[in-house]
């Protein structure tokens, strides 16, 4: 067991550290002459041009990767993307059919709800694209098109590296799709791809930079009963995953909220006993998010802010600031997720929980 963990105390922290390599394995074979090339997965520029709507269907963490995908695909390709929870999609008589692409994201490729959702999408005449980590799994076998994520085997129940590579694939797909739709030039596409290739080193740099800060933050959350994660845009999508990670392994209740929506109800929950983790990595939304952060701070919340290293804020904004390296804004989620994973890990660790096998959870849910 100790050998399998490669010197780390838990699989989860080992897998967090494996992320740079997982990203490299996943993206490098799909880049040819500086452009995304998914032809080996059955996806060509000509084929992509035909899709008018995209649906992303998944469960849990994979669904959160889909949320990041929605923001990125819509922003770059200007095509509507609907993200659905598989167990909802399959029973809703969904508005999906010919001309639509349904993307199923699944680490295990065996999740019952995701598998059934894919079968339904096919029955309704949509094309299906599976993004799967486990080789030869049911979802991988049954999809029309398939992109394997090469995270390597993920043992910890709480998914980290699988989410990271699901996002990496979302980016590659979005770049190629945006190019196919004529929404970005070849030059813009190549520039995005070359930034994506820098991500593995940036993730490594992030890990080295913030490990101690996250350990400290985890120790401050040991007695929390409930937490709020806030963000806007891509940072909101990340907040959802940060919140799920914390719930899964620390057993502390938490919720993610779009920062601008707080004032419509949830701000009434804010007291000094409700820590708030704010994610603010998107420049055009920074001022807006910071003003929401000040609102919760003024009501007594203990605030942990995740931003990039170019931003510094005083005590009127946050109690703890975790600064990730500054990088191209569109790709910041791949860096900013790292502190969220680590905060969940160190909080669970300080509470003495069984990190790799949290109670009531299974790595893969193959029955309904
Ligand atoms: C289970 C796991 C989650 C995972 C979800 C979807 O609930 O505990 O970590 O996100 O299934 O799994 P999949 O294999 O389809 O990505």
- Ligand 1 atom 5: the closest Cα is on which residue? 60
- pLDDT bin (cut points 50, 70, 90) of residue 314 is confident
Q: Render pLDDT for 116-126 as a digit per residue (tens, 0 to 9).
A: 999 999 999 99
Q: Is the pLDDT of residue 316 over 90?
A: no
pLDDT score of 3 more than 80: no
Dihedral angle computed from the Cα positions of residues 110, 114, 120 and 125, in that order, rounded to the nearest 10 degrees: -100
Average pLDDT, the chain: 96
Separation of CA 233 and ligand 1 centre (Å): 23
CA 162 / ligand 1 centre spacing (Å): 10
- Tell me the CA distances in angstroms from 228 to 38, 163, 244, 300, one per residue in order: 38, 21, 11, 13
Q: pLDDT tens digits, residue range 4-52? A: 999 999 999 999 999 999 999 999 999 999 999 999 999 999 999 999 9
Q: Which of 86-90, 299-303, 326-330, 363-367 has the lowest mean pLDDT?
A: 363-367
Q: DSSP for 31-99?
A: EETTEE--GGGT--HHHHHT--EEEEEE-HHHHHHHHHHHHHHHHHH---EEEEEHHHHTTS--S--TT
pLDDT band at 206 (very low <50, low <70, confident <90, very high): very high
Mutate which of 12, 60, 117 to test ligand 1's pocket (most atoms within 8 Å of Cβ)?
60
Q: Which residues line ligand 1 (CB under 6 A)?
A: 59-62, 106-108, 111, 114, 157, 159, 361-365
For residue 257, is pLDDT > 80? yes
Q: How many CB atoms lie within 10 A of CB 177?
A: 27
The pLDDT > 70 percentage for the chain reads: 100
**Residue 52: Cβ within 10 Å count:** 11
Question: Which atom of ligand 1 is found nearest the CA of 60?
Answer: 10
Expressed in angstroms and rounded, the spacing between residue 60 Cα and the centre of ligand 1 is: 5
Residue 9, C-beta contacts closer than 8 angstroms, at least 6 positions apart:
none
Q: From CA 326, how far away is CA 223, in angstroms rounded? A: 32
Looking at the annotation, which residues are catalytic? Answer: 363
Distance, CA of 206 to CA of 59 (rounded, Å): 27
Kindly give the number of the ligand 1 atom that is closest to the alpha carbon of 362.
8
pTM above 0.90, yes or no: yes
Q: How far apart are the first and last CA of the chain?
A: 31
Section 63-85 average pLDDT: 98
> Hey, whose CA ends up nearest to atom 8 of ligand 1?
363
Mean pLDDT value across residues 334-342: 98
Give the pLDDT score at 296: 95
**Test site for ligand 1: of 159, 164, 248, most ligand atoms within 8 A of the Cβ:** 159
The predicted structure's pLDDT at residue 229: 98
Question: To test the ligand 1 pocket, which listed residue (15, 57, 61) has its Cβ within 8 A of the most ligand atoms?
Answer: 61
Query: In terms of C-beta density within 10 A (0-12 exposed, 13-18 middle, 19 or more buried), how is residue 287 classed?
Result: exposed
Could you tell me the distance, in angstroms and rounded to a whole number, from the CA of residue 351 to the centre of ligand 1?
24
Q: Is the pLDDT of residue 127 over 80?
A: yes
CB 313: neighbour CB atoms within 10 A?
Answer: 17
Query: What are the start-end ranges of the E strands in the chain?
Result: 31-32, 35-36, 53-58, 81-85, 100-106, 127-132, 145-148, 226-231, 253-258, 276-279, 303-308, 320-324
Ligand 1 mean position to 312 CA, how many Å? 36
**DSSP β-bridge partners for residue 129:** 103, 145
**pLDDT value at residue 157:** 96
Atom in ligand 1 nearest the alpha carbon of residue 111:
15
Query: How many other C-beta atoms can be found within 10 angstroms of the C-beta atom of residue 26?
Result: 25
pLDDT of 1 above 80: no
Cα dihedral across residues 267, 272, 273, 277: positive or negative: positive
CA–CA distance, 313 with 214 (Å, rounded to integer): 18
């Amino acid at each position: 067991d100790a050998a399998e963990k490669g010197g780390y105390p838990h699989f989860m922290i080992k897998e967090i550290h494996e992320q740079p390599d997982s990203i490299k394995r996943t993206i490098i074979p799909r880049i040819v002459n500086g452009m995304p090339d998914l032809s080996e997965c059955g996806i060509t520029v000509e084929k992509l041009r035909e899709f008018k709507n995209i649906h992303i269907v998944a469960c849990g963490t994979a669904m959160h990767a889909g949320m990041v995908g929605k923001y990125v695909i819509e922003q770059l390709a200007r095509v509507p993307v609907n993200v659905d929870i598989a167990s909802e999609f399959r029973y809703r008589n969904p508005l999906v059919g010919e001309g639509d692409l349904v993307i199923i994201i699944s680490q295990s490729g065996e999740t019952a709800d995701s598998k059934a959702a894919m079968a339904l999408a096919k029955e309704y005449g949509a094309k299906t694209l599976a993004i799967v980590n486990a080789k030869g799994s049911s979802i991988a076998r049954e999809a029309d098109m398939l992109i394997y994520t090469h995270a390597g085997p993920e043992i910890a129940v709480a998914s980290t590296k699988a989410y990271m590579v699901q996002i990496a694939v979302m980016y590659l797909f979005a770049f190629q799709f945006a190019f196919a739709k004529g929404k970005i030039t070849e030059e813009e596409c190549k520039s995005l791809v070359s930034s994506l290739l820098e991500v593995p080193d940036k993730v490594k740099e992030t890990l080295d930079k913030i490990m101690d800060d996250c350990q400290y933050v985890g120790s401050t959350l040991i007695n929390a009963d409930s937490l709020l994660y806030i963000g806007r845009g891509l940072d909101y999508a990340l907040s959802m995953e940060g919140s799920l990670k914390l719930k899964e392994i620390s057993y502390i209740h938490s919720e993610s909220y779009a920062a601008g929506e707080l004032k419509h109800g949830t701000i009434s929950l804010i007291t000094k006993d409700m820590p708030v983790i704010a994610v603010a990595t998107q420049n055009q939304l920074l001022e807006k998010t910071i003003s929401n952060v000040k609102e919760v701070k003024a009501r007594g919340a203990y605030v942990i802010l995740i931003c990039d290293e170019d931003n510094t804020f005083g005590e009127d904004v946050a109690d703890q600031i975790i600064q990730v390296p500054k990088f191209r804004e569109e790709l910041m989620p791949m860096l900013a997720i790292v502190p969220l994973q680590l905060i969940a890990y160190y909080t669970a660790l300080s509470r003495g929980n069984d990190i790799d096998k949290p109670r009531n959870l299974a790595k893969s849910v193959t029955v309904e």
